């Protein structure tokens, strides 16, 4: 059980139970913005058998505490971003993988009337790998 994570969760007002720590660590370690089911299956395979409900409740808690952010790129499932750096996301329509895309902060022209709390930039198309393989076209 990673101490850094324990401290981080505490700092955000989250009781660092072992499941929560594992879920957070998994989110940070995986670069591909796993879905709830991905998290559940991966941690279940590791032998930490807990329920999907726990994963849902945990990510919901993390979201509320602003420890992670939702990735709005796939329409159906929730996906998450544990990184706090500003970047965009690219989702491949063929293999359904999600990549981080470096982008510059964007400057708004006429949105200042609203109080913006979150910004989300996403792209979709065919990733380099699938283009080579010609999986789609």
Partner DNA sequence: ATCATTGCAAACACTTTGCATACGC
Partner DNA sequence: GCGTATGCAAAGTGTTTGCAATGAT
Residues near DNA (CB under 7 A) are: 14-15, 17-20, 35-37, 48-54, 56-58, 60, 75-78
SS3 of 29, please? helix
Of DNA, a copy of itself, none, which one does residue 85 interact with (CB within 5 to 8 Å by kind)?
Answer: none
Of DNA, a copy of itself, none, which one does residue 83 interact with (CB within 5 to 8 Å by kind)?
Answer: none
Residues at the contact surface with a copy of itself, assessed by CB under 8 A: 70, 72-73, 75, 78, 88, 90, 92-93, 99, 101-104, 106-111, 113-128, 131
Quote the least distance from Cβ 84 to a copy of itself, whole Å.
Answer: 16
Of DNA, a copy of itself, none, which one does residue 47 interact with (CB within 5 to 8 Å by kind)?
Answer: none
Of a copy of itself, DNA, none, which one does residue 3 interact with (CB within 5 to 8 Å by kind)?
Answer: none
Quote the least distance from Cβ 72 to DNA, whole Å.
Answer: 11
Interatomic CA distance for residues 18 and 46, integer angstroms = 14
Please give the angle made by the CA atoms of 92, 64 and 72, to the nearest 5 degrees: 15
Interatomic CA distance for residues 97 and 107, integer angstroms = 28
- Given a contact cutoff of 8 angstroms between Cβ atoms, the answer to whether 130 and 136 are in contact is yes
Interatomic CA distance for residues 47 and 130, integer angstroms = 33
Closest CA to 128 of 103, 95, 86, 104: 95
Q: Give the residue with the Cβ less far from DNA, 28 or 131.
A: 28
């Amino acid at each position: 059980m990673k101490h850094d994570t324990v401290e981080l969760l505490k700092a955000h007002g989250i009781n660092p139970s072992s499941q929560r720590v594992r879920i957070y660590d998994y989110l940070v370690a995986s670069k591909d913005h796993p879905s709830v089911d991905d998290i559940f299956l991966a941690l279940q395979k590791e032998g930490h058998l807990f329920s999907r409900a726990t994963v849902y409740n945990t990510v919901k808690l993390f979201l509320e505490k602003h420890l992670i952010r939702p990735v709005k790129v796939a329409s159906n499932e929730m996906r998450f971003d544990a990184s706090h750096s500003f970047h965009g996301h690219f989702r491949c329509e063929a293999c359904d993988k999600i990549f981080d895309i470096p982008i510059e902060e964007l400057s708004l022209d006429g949105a200042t009337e609203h109080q913006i709390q979150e910004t989300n930039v996403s792209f979709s198309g065919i990733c380099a790998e699938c283009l080579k393989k010609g999986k789609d076209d």
